[in-house]
Structure 1
Amino acid sequence: MPSPQSPQSPQSPQSSSSPRSRQETAVTSVVVPFEPDTSPTSLGRLGRLGREVPERWHTVDRSAHAPHIVVVPGDDGADPVAAALVTARPHTAYLKIVDAVGDVPAAVRAVVAHARDRGLVQVKWEGWTATPEAAAAAGFAPMRPPLAPAEDGAGPDAGYVRWLGEGPGTEPPYYGQTTHFTCGAVTALVAQAHAGALPREALDREAELTLWRDATNFPSCEPVGLGVAVRRAWPSSPVTVHLDTDRPVLLDHFPEKEQEWRALLQRTSRTEAGRTGVPVDPGHLSLAAIRSALDRREHVLLLVSLAGMLGFDVPHWVLCHGVVPGAVVIEDPWAQTVAGDTWVDAHLLPVTDSSLDTMSVLSADRFRGAVVVGRPQ
């Protein structure tokens, strides 16, 4: 698998029939691809531009995230008055503003209108140069910053979100996994912090590695072992494992001798599940069932492949914690910083139902693995 908070939660956006929305949908803009030699200065006179913005645009290879520039032309059709560099993970339902330059409010209005035209549900804004005041004026709410700051300045200190319809409810904390293999443990910890079963301040590296050590199949966490570890850590939380195969999973890339002892550990996990009262449902968990669980304020730890979103076919745990029309909202503990992907992308991430359905069917025998954690009793 890959390798002092604000108390505010994302605000509900204006509805699509509001005066603000009508104004945004009328914004005139031009969308152009972002090329390696593109810079704000090549787009014309966009006001006072510091060196920081064009340099940041080129510090990473953003090509995997469909980078493009939304340009607002001037009244005379000559030089543009504003522009925004926009990216997004593939197979998701949002756009992210990396930077807006020139007439920033006009640039942001143009991006929001662009997102509405594409039928997306959310726009995010990285806080490299955005101020809280500018974000609030544009209808964006601050997102909680990560509990553990990104290393080496890989992400901005602040991020903002605007839902283009109904929002998903309360915001969970964001915590990025600190190893390549602890995503399962992190999703479980974030779920319990969101449910109120774990203090947010207790979500740290010690908690991450402790839960991973109890759940691991060396080095990854398979569904049954993860479910059993969650039940042991929080006996008052109902846990159900969904796994529609009876063979050992996540072992195909190991040599046969390495598979044998890991398979034995997985059989032991099933025995432990029976002993501790953790049901293992062999039926296929549908997207409708995931949505129903989230409507009941349960949490779904879901095993996915990162091939669609990040470009490499690696099994990975994400947390499903909310729904909006047409999309499930997840927390991804991994951000691909070398591609310009930051915690702003990975936090409150809407994935369309069809995309999530596709990316959560794994391996040649197309199994789905999940752990549903109910509300503490």
Structure 2
Amino acid sequence: MSSQQETLVKSVVVPFEPDTSPTLLRKLGPQAVPQRWHAVDRSAHAPHIVAVPGADGEHWTAAALVTARPHTAYLKIVDAVGDVPAAVAAVVAHARRRDLAQVKWEGWTASPQDAAAAGFASLRPPLARAEDAAGPAAGYVRWLRDGAVTDPPYYGQTTHFTCGAVTALVAQVHARTLPREALDRRAELTLWRDATNFPACEPIGLGVAVRRAWPSSPVVVHLDVDRPVLLDHYPENEQEWRAQLQRISRTDAARIGVPIDPRRLSMTAIRRAVGRQEHVLLLVSLAGMQGFDVPHWVLCHGAVPGAVVIDDPWVNAAAGDTWVDAHLLPIPDPSLDTMSAVSADGFRGAVTIGRPGPIRPIRARTASRSRR
């Protein structure tokens, strides 16, 4: 079936509301709806049912529970019931009519064979996840737009504060600078300890830590303000010593050769970087995707027409969010542009990691200076 033909698949789309949905789903007959549909409050992720009407126009032959993070370019099938292939085809058609980049499918009950028959590719299961980050053992993805997107490993941060370290580690595994088996909790905490501004990682400290850990990787910090950042929510006495640590990070950056670009990093520049197979660690606010204004690091590693593809190391399990949402997540350029304006004054912070090159003798020069 061509993409144009897929958009013609008939469906019924209704909001998913726990109080009324059981009545609607009785149209499928006696089949039980999975309990997980009602196990969490999915309202923040626009839950809706995509159903396939029967020949009589009154009953449904199939239905899928569909959600998505706000301000993104995908839909996620939580489950499909009834005539499952028909339900999945209806969701794909629904996504095409909305001009979305992707459909995902949580693998609670779907087999790899069923997913492949519907045009979906298997996602590799996560290497790690937080204790409260429930999710299926398997997941699947179908791209609806062309683009050069490769699959980094998914690693869910195991603490509330190690997102910066995780994005850097995943980037280096994706670049084949770090072995996949080396991506573990020890590595996560070790890099965080070197980069942290207690407990967050600010852009310059993160860039310096990456350069120290991988001397062969070109690193550029992008920060369009000349002041300490991510400190506004602390009392004044807590800001002072953290600000001093950030000034030390600037000194370290100058000493080991990490440039700090004071210009605002544009979406075009991010697209160019990932097009060169570089990685962009981007500081964003979670207000758009999750509903609370918390600074957070994500990894930009690919692009499709109209959207940048990220990996997000954190999921909001309370909203039904899982690693399937966070992995290979397409975000429209305007949405990502808005998300990455952080704090009240809308500064932008990022770290670009280039492709590895010859190792410069950083440590040797530093040691030589110290002997003098």
**TM-score where L is the length of structure 1:** 0.92
Change in Cα spacing, 1:235 to 1:333, as seen in structure 2 (3 Å) is same
Q: Which residue of 2 aligns with 1:282?
A: 262
Cα deviation digits, residues 246-289 of structure 1 (max 9, x gap):
01000000010110000000000000000000000001111101
Kindly provide the amino acid, as one letter, of the partner of residue 98 in structure 1: V
Q: Which residue of 2 aligns with 1:82?
A: 62
Cα deviation digits, residues 3-45 of structure 1 (max 9, x gap):
xxxxxxxxxxxxxxxx342432111111000001244664235
Counterpart pick for 2:6 among 24, 45, 69: 24
Question: Given that residues 73 and 331 in structure 2 are in contact (C-alpha distance below 8 angstroms), is that contact kept between their aligned partners in structure 1?
Answer: yes
CA displacement at 1:89 relative to structure 2: 0.1
After TM superposition, list the pairs within 5 Å mapping 1:90-169 onto structure 2: 90-148=70-128, 151=131, 154-169=134-149
Counterpart pick for 1:265 among 245, 253, 257: 245
Kindly provide the amino acid, as one letter, of the partner of residue 91 in structure 2: V
Distance 1:168 1:217 in 2: 35
Counterpart pick for 1:296 among 272, 276, 287: 276
Distance 2:257 2:100 in 1: 41
Quick check: 215-224 or 166-175, which moved more?
Answer: 166-175
Change in Cα spacing, 1:130 to 1:41, as seen in structure 2 (3 Å) is farther
Question: Given that residues 46 and 103 in structure 1 are in contact (C-alpha distance below 8 angstroms), is that contact kept between their aligned partners in structure 2?
Answer: no
SS in 1 for 2:289: helix
Change in Cα spacing, 1:345 to 1:281, as seen in structure 2 (3 Å) is same
Structure 1 residue runs of 5 or longer lacking an equivalent are 1-18
Distance 1:48 1:375 in 2: 56
SS in 2 for 1:266: helix
CA displacement at 1:168 relative to structure 2: 3.4
Cα deviation digits, residues 96-145 of structure 1 (max 9, x gap):
00000101111001100100111100000000111111100000000111
Question: Given that residues 236 and 376 in structure 1 are in contact (C-alpha distance below 8 angstroms), is that contact kept between their aligned partners in structure 2?
Answer: yes
Identity, % of aligned pairs? 79
Counterpart pick for 2:192 among 212, 217, 229: 212
Say if 2:286 is the partner of 1:306: yes
SS in 1 for 2:125: coil
Cα deviation digits, residues 302-325 of structure 1 (max 9, x gap):
000000000100000000000000
Give the RMSD, CA atoms, in angstroms.
1.3
Q: Which residue of 2 aligns with 1:37?
A: 19
Kindly provide the amino acid, as one letter, of the partner of residue 23 in structure 1: Q
Q: Which residue of 2 aligns with 1:338?
A: 318
Counterpart pick for 2:210 among 230, 244, 247: 230
Question: Given that residues 299 and 373 in structure 1 are in contact (C-alpha distance below 8 angstroms), is that contact kept between their aligned partners in structure 2?
Answer: yes
Change in Cα spacing, 1:153 to 1:190, as seen in structure 2 (3 Å) is closer
Q: Which residue of 1 aligns with 2:169?
A: 189
CA displacement at 1:54 relative to structure 2: 3.0
SS in 2 for 1:259: helix
SS in 1 for 2:52: strand
Question: Given that residues 43 and 79 in structure 1 are in contact (C-alpha distance below 8 angstroms), is that contact kept between their aligned partners in structure 2?
Answer: no
Aligned residues: 357
Distance 1:202 1:41 in 2: 50
Distance 1:208 1:64 in 2: 30
Distance 2:29 2:275 in 1: 47
Change in Cα spacing, 1:323 to 1:247, as seen in structure 2 (3 Å) is same
Distance 1:94 1:355 in 2: 13
Change in Cα spacing, 1:95 to 1:373, as seen in structure 2 (3 Å) is same
CA displacement at 1:149 relative to structure 2: 5.1
Question: Given that residues 132 and 317 in structure 2 are in contact (C-alpha distance below 8 angstroms), is that contact kept between their aligned partners in structure 1?
Answer: no
- 4+ residue segments displaced more than 6 Å: none
After TM superposition, list the pairs within 5 Å mapping 1:8-23 onto structure 2: 19-23=1-5
Distance 2:20 2:249 in 1: 53
Distance 2:192 2:314 in 1: 16
SS in 1 for 2:116: helix
Distance 2:13 2:24 in 1: 15
After TM superposition, list the pairs within 5 Å mapping 1:344-359 onto structure 2: 344-359=324-339
